[in-house]
A and B are shown apart, each in its own frame.
Chain A
Amino acid sequence: MSIIRSIIDIALRHAEGRRVTAVEVGVGRWSNIEPSCLDFYFQGMIAETSLEGASLRILEVPLRAECAECETQFEPEDMVFYCPACGSRLTEVISGKELRVKAIEVAYED
């Protein structure tokens, strides 16, 4: 709920009073956010606000990690974070955690 509240706040701030028709968000696979739930609650929370009628477009960002030693980038499979190239244990998640409002679409004014 607090995440959706933030999405709405960011969208309204950038809309500067214009009517918002769509909100595009990037949701990392390595965040604890389930896209279908996000959409369901978003629609519920924008009812009777100036975002009413806006659609939510969710772009899922895959989980990617990078080896700190050989810099190989990989998508961890089965939750194993060892580097597939050199076997190093030192790896960093480089994408997949993010929750971002990427863009909004606003209606042209008459």
Chain B
Amino acid sequence: MKIEIEENILEANDTLARQVRSTLDARQILGVNLLGSPGAGKTTLIESTADALQDRYALGVIEGDIASSIDMERLQKRGLPVVQVNTGGLCHLDANMILQALRPFDPDRLDALVIENIGNLVCPADFDIGHHVTVLVSSVPEGDDKPHKYPIIFRSADAVVLAKGDLLPYIDFDLARYRDALAALNPDVPLFPLSCRTGEGMSEWLAWFEEQIAADRG
């Protein structure tokens, strides 16, 4: 006997993601899902962004890693409130992990919560974690073919940061090819080539980030 069901497999996750989003909305906190491959420069981007905005905005961070608290310790040195989530092998964060990780934060003191997802260009694209915007960090040494190879995650991004831009003169990275592939997939997504090391390109990225905080406050 056949029983028709038509049920979303991710419904349990999506329900919790809506809870996360409404918790953030109630306090006007911008939730940022920060994606990128391992070593792309996600944590460094958080450091540079927090440093540049520290006089105007309070950032909190949820650090997702399979193991270790290395990134949490890096960010705590800067005085940022950080909660580490270790997934123990799971390749993505899910909404339930974020709901638990929200508890230690003092929500009245935050303007934005940056959730650094597991370094991976595949699975994190499938899971809503209650965020408002998705930022994908891609870096010059990874190569200019990444939008072609990981189209789903590049399409899901609200902004793409091309990190380690100071390495462009030393690496065969065709910026025009990269831009074209990205534009075909996700036509109006803003692209920010930048270097956290030299500071080049940071101001455009920071302006976009501040606009998102302002838009979230509506």
> Residue B185 contacts which of A81, A100, A108 (CB distance < 8 angstroms)?
A81
In the complex, which residues 93-110 of chain A have their Cβ closer than 8 Å to any Cβ of chain B?
93, 98-108
For A15, list chain B residues within 8 Å (CB).
3
For B6, list chain A residues within 8 Å (CB).
100-103
> Residue A101 contacts which of B5, B123, B148, B184 (CB distance < 8 angstroms)?
B5
B155 within 8 A of A: yes
Nearest opposing residue in chain B for A3, CB measure: B9
0/1 string, B1-30, CB within 8 A of A gives 1: 111111111111100000000000000000
- When chains A and B are docked, how far (Å) is the Cα of A108 from the Cα of B1? 7
- When chains A and B are docked, how far (Å) is the Cα of A81 from the Cα of B152? 12
Known: A79-B185, A81-B187, A105-B2. A100 touches B7 (CB 8 A): yes
> Residue B126 contacts which of A25, A31, A101 (CB distance < 8 angstroms)?
A31
Q: Decide: A103 and B4 in contact? CB cutoff 8 A.
A: yes
- Size range of the interface on A? 20 to 34
For B1, list chain A residues within 8 Å (CB).
105-108
- Size range of the interface on B? 20 to 34
Q: Decide: A80 and B5 in contact? CB cutoff 8 A.
A: no
> Residue A104 contacts which of B2, B13, B147, B185 (CB distance < 8 angstroms)?
B2
> Residue A6 contacts which of B9, B185, B186 (CB distance < 8 angstroms)?
B9
In the complex, which residues 13-48 of chain A have their Cβ closer than 8 Å to any Cβ of chain B?
14-15, 25, 30-33
Q: Decide: B10 and A99 in contact? CB cutoff 8 A.
A: yes
> Residue A103 contacts which of B5, B126, B185 (CB distance < 8 angstroms)?
B5
Q: Decide: A6 and B125 in contact? CB cutoff 8 A.
A: no
B188 within 8 A of A: yes
Nearest opposing residue in chain B for A27, CB measure: B9
Q: How far is the CB of A32 from chain B (nearest CB, A)?
A: 5
0/1 string, B163-192, CB within 8 A of A gives 1: 000000000000000000100111110000
B94 within 8 A of A: yes
Q: How far is the CB of A77 from chain B (nearest CB, A)?
A: 10
- The chain A residues found within 8 Å of chain B, CB to CB, are 1-3, 6-7, 9-10, 14-15, 25, 30-33, 78-82, 89-91, 93, 98-108
5 contacting pairs across A/B (C-beta < 8 A): A1-B90, A6-B13, A32-B123, A81-B185, A99-B126
